[in-house]
Amino acid sequence: MEFTYSALPARVVFGAGRRADVPAELDRLGITRALVITTADQSETCATFAAAIGDRLGAIYPGAVMHTPVQVTEAAMRQAEQMNCDGILAIGGGSTIGLGKAIAWRTDMPQLVVPTTYAGSEMTPILGQTEQGLKTTLRSPKVLPETVIYDPDLTLTLPGAISGPSGMNAIAHAVEALYAEDANPVISLMAEDSIRALAGALPRIMADGADRAARELALYGSWLAGTCLGAVGMALHHKICHTLGGSFDLNHADVHCLMIPYSTAYNRDAAPAAMAAISRALGGGDPAEELYALMRRVGRKTSLADFGLTEAQLDRAADLAVQNPYYNPRPVTRDAVRGMLQAAFEGRRP
Ligand code: NAD
């Protein structure tokens, strides 16, 4: 056994109703005038939090959007400056959390994050942002939120059509953590339990979005998955999803959800220990086939053709995916990637 493990600092407060801890956690971080951010869709939730924090409220900015465009970050920062904000309270999914991180990157303000999806960004020191249509990614301890409050009750309103793919996005972080170049035993334990929790919870959530025990289990799994994503490097799956999502403007979670069975199949023979862990977490069987069955139960798109892509676009995606070398347990070749994309295009069993 040989590994290097760097644990990232994070304070995690977990439990149904724990959103009531927000004022005390703001105090703990020394935030006296919070900039409260969320998406327009969640502005009502934002208003509830703004009311709950009383005189700790500095300003409200319910303008977060996907892909963290720099002009949105700048508009939010102007608001923060005008109102003398000294910290960030972000309530929402990856898009809202991305905005909070982008502001923290520029100002070093502390962040209290209350995630409401399963994307996992709150546990990572990674920030993706777009400027003039170009997406760039950076990694810095400055963007890692100081405190995260997970309250599963806040996910009860997340529709099944978003919950399923968002949960599969989290599973994808855990799957790739198991065969990461810098994998380590602690993160592998988290990854396996993350897959177990999410695979158990997601079908229950699809059947009944108000199942509080399933919501709790899914949020627990997504916390673990986010920790995995923040701690070790990802491989082909994240690369191909980034390429497909970025080049053809596809929904982030839907692409992850569809592709994870296919990228798992790609690496099937090259990462036996990881495959054994995934299989255990899924209750036995072939990991790629089990993930395929799960994807078909909880996803809203079940082939790349469903996204409206053409076969010519698959050629382009395969070209892009092999342009810059990166780690993957099985060598990444253009023909093999193109074959994987064809299977996903047809929605074939992997
Ligand atoms: P999202 O944040 O865009 O949310 C999707 C939609 O669901 C939004 O309209 C939002 O308002 C709504 N929503 C969120 N929570 C809700 C709730 N509880 N009830 C009702 N509606 C709710 O989507 P996402 O999948 O969470 O995040 C995707 C983004 O996060 C992508 O841009 C991705 O690149 C980024 N991301 C970044 C990292 C990282 O480490 N930097 C990790 C994962 C994802």
Q: How far from the centroid of its chain's Cα atoms is residue 315's Cα?
A: 27
Alpha-carbon distance of 51 to 73, in angstroms, equals 24
Ligand 1 contact, 129 CB (< 6 A): no
Q: Across the chain, what does the average pLDDT equal?
A: 97
pLDDT digits (tens, 9 = 90+) for 228-251: 999 999 999 999 999 998 889 899
By the 8 A CB rule, do 22 and 149 touch?
yes
* CA nearest ligand 1 atom 29, residue: 94
pTM of the predicted structure, to 2 decimals = 0.97
Ligand 1 contact, 153 CB (< 6 A): no
Q: What are phi and psi of 326, to 5 degrees?
A: -155, 165
Ligand 1 contact, 157 CB (< 6 A): yes
* Per-residue confidence band for 76, with pLDDT thresholds at 50, 70 and 90: very high
Strand order in the sheet with 34-39: 11-14, 147-150, 111-115, 87-92, 34-39, 57-64
**Ligand 1 pocket, mutate which of 61, 91, 96, 121 (most atoms under 8 A from CB):** 121
Map residue 217 onto helix, strand or coil. helix
Ligand 1 contact, 128 CB (< 6 A): yes
End-to-end distance of the chain based on CA atoms, in angstroms? Answer: 32
Q: Residues with Cβ < 8 Å from 222, sequence gap 6 or more? A: 115, 117, 118, 119, 120, 166, 167, 170, 194, 198
Q: Residues with Cβ < 8 Å from 271, sequence gap 6 or more? A: 178, 179, 329, 330
* Per-residue confidence band for 132, with pLDDT thresholds at 50, 70 and 90: confident
- Averaged pLDDT, 253-257: 97
Ligand 1 atom at minimal distance to the Cα of residue 65: 3
Q: Residues with Cβ < 8 Å from 258, sequence gap 6 or more? A: 295, 299, 301, 302, 303, 304, 306, 307, 344
Ligand 1 contact, 99 CB (< 6 A): no
Between the CA of 237 and the centroid of ligand 1 the distance, in Å, is 19
C-alpha distance from residue 142 to each of 61, 129, 256 (Å): 21, 15, 27
pLDDT digits (tens, 9 = 90+) for 283-307: 999 999 999 999 999 999 999 999 9
pLDDT, residue 20, reads: 98
Percentage above 70 pLDDT, the chain: 100
* CA nearest ligand 1 atom 32, residue: 67
Q: For the chain, which domains are there?
A: 11-155 (3.40.50.1970), 160-346 (1.20.1090.10)
DSSP 86-117: -EEEEEESHHHHHHHHHHHHHH---EEEEE-S
Ligand 1 atom at minimal distance to the Cα of residue 67: 32
Q: Residues with Cβ < 8 Å from 334, sequence gap 6 or more? A: 318, 319, 321, 322
Burial of 211: CB neighbours in 10 Å, binned 0-12, 13-18, 19+: middle
* CA nearest ligand 1 atom 39, residue: 121
Strands 134-139 and 57-64: unpaired
By the 8 A CB rule, do 226 and 170 touch?
yes
Ligand 1 atom at minimal distance to the Cα of residue 96: 2
pLDDT digits (tens, 9 = 90+) for 160-216: 999 999 999 999 999 999 999 999 999 999 999 999 999 999 999 999 999 999 999
Ligand 1 contact, 95 CB (< 6 A): yes
> What tokens appear for 66 in the block?
């996907």
* Exposure of 109 in the CB half-sphere (CA atoms within 13 A): 28
Between the CA of 326 and the centroid of ligand 1 the distance, in Å, is 26
> Is the model's pLDDT at 338 over the cut of 90?
yes
**Ligand 1 pocket, mutate which of 8, 38, 42 (most atoms under 8 A from CB):** 42
